[in-house]
Amino acid sequence: MINAKKLRQDFPILDQVVNDESLVYLDNAATTQKPDSVLQTMVSYYQEDNANVHRGVHTLAERATEKYEAAREKVRQFVHARETAEVLFTRGTTTALNWVAQSFGDAFVKEGDEIVISYMEHHSNVVPWQQLAKRKRAVLKYISVTEDGFLNMEEAKQQITEKTAIVAIAHASNVLGVVNPIAELTHLAHQQQAAMVVDAAQAVPHMPVDVQELDVDFYAFSGHKMCAPTGIGVLYGKRKWLEQMEPVEFGGEMIDFVHPYESTWTELPWKFEAGTPNIAGGIGLGSAVDYLNEIGLAKIYQHEKELVHYALPQLQAIDGLTIYGPTNPGDHTGVIAFNLEGLHPHDVATALDMEGVAVRAGHHCAQPLLEYLNVNATVRASFYLYNTKEDADRLVEAIKMTKEFFEHGTF
Q: Give the binding site for ligand C6P (CB under 6 A).
A: 29-30, 92-94, 122, 124-125, 170, 174, 199, 201-202, 222, 360, 364-365
CB of 384 to ligand C6P, least distance (A): 13
Nearest CA to 74 out of 299, 235, 293, 226 is that of 293
CB of 30 to ligand C6P, least distance (A): 4
Cβ proximity to ligand C6P: between 65 and 125 the closer is: 125
CB of 382 to ligand C6P, least distance (A): 8
CB of 156 to ligand C6P, least distance (A): 18
* Whether 365 is catalytic: yes
CB of 255 to ligand C6P, least distance (A): 26
Cβ proximity to ligand C6P: between 49 and 231 the closer is: 231
What is the 3-class SS of the chain, one letter each residue?
CCCHHHHHHHCHHHCCEECCEECEECECCCCCCCCHHHHHHHHHHHHHHCCCCCCCCCHHHHHHHHHHHHHHHHHHHHHCCCCHHHEEEECCHHHHHHHHHHHHHHHHCCCCCEEEEECCCCHHHCHHHHHHHHHHCCEEEEECECCCCCECHHHHHHHCCCCEEEEEEECECCCCCCECCHHHHHHHHHHCCCEEEEECCCCCCCCCCCHHHHCCCEEEEEHHHCCCCCCCEEEEECHHHHCCCCCCCCCCCCEEEECCCCEEECCCCHHHCCCCCCHHHHHHHHHHHHHHHHHCHHHHHHHHHHHHHHHHHHHHCCCCEEEECCCCHHHCCCEEEEEECCCCHHHHHHHHHHCCEECEEECCCCHHHHHHHCCCCEEEEECCCCCCHHHHHHHHHHHHHHHHHHHHCCC
Torsions phi, psi for 362 (to 5 deg) = 140, -155
Torsions phi, psi for 208 (to 5 deg) = -65, 140
Cβ proximity to ligand C6P: between 228 and 311 the closer is: 228
Cβ proximity to ligand C6P: between 92 and 269 the closer is: 92
Q: Indicate the pairing of strand 218-222 with strand 195-199.
A: parallel
CB of 364 to ligand C6P, least distance (A): 5
Cβ proximity to ligand C6P: between 118 and 174 the closer is: 174
CB of 223 to ligand C6P, least distance (A): 8
For residues 249 and 273, what is the distance between their CA atoms, to the nearest angstrom? Answer: 8
Cβ proximity to ligand C6P: between 232 and 279 the closer is: 232
Cβ proximity to ligand C6P: between 33 and 65 the closer is: 33
Q: Spot the catalytic one: 160, 178, 336, 365.
A: 365
Q: Which residues are catalytic?
A: 365
